[in-house]
Amino acid sequence: MSEAGVLCVSLKMDKIEYCVVIKFFVKEGLTPNEIHSKFVKVYGDSSPSFSKIKKWAAEFKRGRTILEDDPREGRPKIATTPEIIEQVHDMVLDDRRMKVREIAKTIGISKEHVGYILHEELDMKKLCARWVPRLLVADQKRTRMKIYEQCLERFNKNKTDFVRRFITMDETWIHHYTPESKQQSKQWTEAGCSVPKKTRSVPSAGKVMASAFWDAEGIFFY
């Protein structure tokens, strides 16, 4: 191929194409500097770097015939088999606060592979838990709903202003302790799931009972 032949090659070269050209110029006896100059003259900023040209020129001088890059060495694909993906999933569901390094150490794969499985294969991410006053089970929620409905019905039946003044009372233990940090509260969650919740009522250094009475106008005794 002459210099004019290089001009006929598409201005958007892929790696195979410029390797073919470099191989030809090496056969003609050109040095890497000369080859690079020809590329820059034709392709300008789109030409391969001098270091790449030098590398491939040296390879072709040693008798290389393959134009593709050598396959990279690395951990075999066995690290992302369905069995291992399921194992990672089970471990996270058993303990949603488990760290990536703990999973990697238990299974015997790299942290990078664990991260890939969690984010790409399982579509999971770690979120900080959100504070809520109480974590109620389904039965507790139904009981509260019934009480609210009864109160509302009684409120609507009474006509006088005195009777219609509905007084509510509640009490709770106030705990004082060192709260868990956001980093400590992070949990693995599937895509589309809501933010995890946690209650403030945890073992603490001390606690005090707080009681309050209020109506529609606000708190009048505590």
Per-residue pLDDT tens for 133-175? 667 788 888 888 998 898 888 877 776 655 556 788 888 887 7
Tell whether 211 is covered by a domain: yes
Per-residue pLDDT, 88: 92
Per-residue pLDDT, 163: 53
Residues near 131 by beta carbon (within 8 Å), at least 6 away in sequence: 197, 198, 200
Give yes or no for a contact between 92 and 188, defined as CB atoms under 8 angstroms apart.
yes
Per-residue pLDDT, 77: 52
Tell whether 158 is covered by a domain: no
Give yes or no for a contact between 61 and 28, defined as CB atoms under 8 angstroms apart.
no
Per-residue pLDDT, 206: 76
Q: 49 and 84 in one domain?
A: no
Q: How, if at all, do strands 197-199 and 130-132 pair?
A: parallel
Tell whether 15 is covered by a domain: yes
Per-residue pLDDT, 179: 65
| pTM, rounded to two decimals | 0.36
Per-residue pLDDT, 12: 45
Tell whether 151 is covered by a domain: no
Tell me the CA distances in angstroms from 167 to 8, 133, 151, 211, one per residue in order. Answer: 90, 21, 11, 13
Residue 20 belongs to what domain range? 3-61
Tell whether 200 is covered by a domain: yes
Tell whether 88 is covered by a domain: yes
Q: 213 and 177 in one domain?
A: yes
Q: 51 and 83 in one domain?
A: no
Write out the chain's pLDDT in tens, 222 residues: 444 344 333 344 567 788 888 888 988 899 989 988 888 888 777 778 888 888 888 888 888 777 766 555 554 455 678 889 999 999 998 888 888 999 989 988 888 889 889 988 888 888 877 777 667 788 888 888 998 898 888 877 776 655 556 788 888 887 776 666 767 777 777 777 777 776 655 555 678 899 999 887 888 888
Per-residue pLDDT, 204: 53
Q: How far apart are CA 110 and CA 108, in angstroms?
A: 7
Q: How far apart are CA 89 and CA 71, in angstroms?
A: 30
Q: 85 and 52 in one domain?
A: no
Choose the final residue of a domain: 12, 35, 61.
Answer: 61
- Pick from 50, 215, 201: which is nearest to 136 by CA? 201
Q: 179 and 217 in one domain?
A: yes
Tell whether 101 is covered by a domain: yes
Tell me the CA distances in angstroms from 175 to 57, 156, 201, 213, one per residue in order. Answer: 73, 37, 7, 20
How many domains, in total, are found in the chain? 3
Q: How far apart are CA 190 and CA 126, in angstroms?
A: 9
Per-residue pLDDT, 1: 43
Tell whether 67 is covered by a domain: no
